[in-house]
Structure 1
Amino acid sequence: MTEIKDSVPLGVVLEKRSVEHRWIKHAWRPVAVIPGAPQLDPEGPWRSLRSGAGEEEGAVGAWEHFHAGTLACELFRKETEGYKVNLSQEPPRVFVVLRAGADLEVAHEWVPVHVTVCPYEAQDFLDSGEDLVEPVVMPPDLIAFVQAFVDRHHVDQPFYKRKRKPHDPRKVGFGKRSEHG
């Protein structure tokens, strides 16, 4: 049986902000996703969307937003439990996975490599310790798309408590010797 899945292209918007720091001149972070964005290779040239200086956007320092790539956000039938958990949060989030550009041998410091709406999958990327995973607010159109997918495919799994078998000390098992050995 093939895995039921659906996908939507998401443009990843990264912010480059000047910072006063001893070792770095600017910081990168994802700030938004654009559902249905035109195709753009994250490893190629990025498109500047807007920029500003001063205290706009709630922080000090010059900033610029880039459309840093378009990635497919795939939804799988077996991950609907994670999608439900995310949709129950206020607000729901899209998790953007960034990888150091030096690891990919590209010109950018950080490159978006994956997007997901499953918090469990995002945690798997965090466990590697090599990727940066940042949440951004899920746009209303994407919330509706994910909710429709969950409504179509989610099946509640009942909880069954495992019944333990009574211990029989006469049986061979861990730490026991067999009659033949």
Structure 2
Amino acid sequence: MVVERIPVGVVVERRPARSRWQDHVWRVTAALPGTAEAAPWTVLDEAGGVTRYWAGTAELVLHSGDTEVYKHNVEGAEPRLYVVLRRGASPTGWVLLLATVDPSEAQAHAEAGDDLLEALPLPAALHGRVAAFVAAHHVERRVWRRRRDRADPEALGRRRPDILAGERR
């Protein structure tokens, strides 16, 4: 199996909430191909109560066995990059967990409970790399469906008399 790893830098913002139940809202706002020299959770900008952070670098991992889901995402009307943050030990209380182009992997993290999942438009540079990976490694697989044996309706309702006698005891 061929594996390709692409570094993806993630920008997150914290803004005041319009709710009486929470003070602020976290949102992933950008994903950039490559890495940066900045340490994770470095403040990039602060204005009007909104703080933007460099959350760090996640690794977008592409597996040659999963190209079918990547292909559907890349060829879709709106290709997406999914970024997952998880509560953890950091100055902000969040840890950058992963970036993926696999919608089913993102769905699994959406059901995990406390993870923060954002679907961003797939940046053009990443789109090109993922499309090239799919073109190089995708193999169309024929959908194989099992044929069922024809059932014998006469055999379905019949039971041996000795079994019936044993059940009545």
Q: TM-score range by the shorter chain?
A: 0.7 to 0.9
Question: Would the alpha carbon gap of residues 127 and 39 (structure 1) be closer, same or farther in structure 2, given more than 3 Å must change?
Answer: farther
TM-score, length basis structure 2: 0.82
Deviation (angstroms), 1:12: 1.0
Give the RMSD, CA atoms, in angstroms: 2.0
Aligned twin of 1:98 = 85
Q: What is the CA deviation profile of residues 15-70 of structure 1, one whole-angstrom value per residue up to 9, with x for unaligned ones?
A: 1112232132211010111111226665xxx22223332xxxxxxxx312111111
Which of 28, 31, 41 is 2:29 aligned to?
Answer: 31
Q: What is the CA deviation profile of residues 72-101 of structure 1, one whole-angstrom value per residue up to 9, with x for unaligned ones?
A: 11000111111111112333111011112x
Which of 142, 151, 164 is 2:148 aligned to?
Answer: 164
The structure with the largest alpha-carbon Rg is: 2
- 1:129 maps to 2:113: yes
Which of 127, 130, 138 is 2:122 aligned to?
Answer: 138
Q: Percent identity?
A: 36
Does the 8 Å CA contact 1:28/1:110 hold for their aligned counterparts?
A: no
Q: Give unmatched runs, 5+ long, in structure 2.
A: 157-162, 164-169
Does the 8 Å CA contact 2:3/2:62 hold for their aligned counterparts?
A: yes
Does the 8 Å CA contact 2:89/2:95 hold for their aligned counterparts?
A: no
Aligned twin of 1:59 = none
Which of 2, 14, 39 is 1:16 aligned to?
Answer: 14
Q: Give unmatched runs, 5+ long, in structure 1.
A: 54-61, 171-176
Number of residue equivalences: 155
For 1:36 and 1:156, the matched residues in 2 are separated by: 30
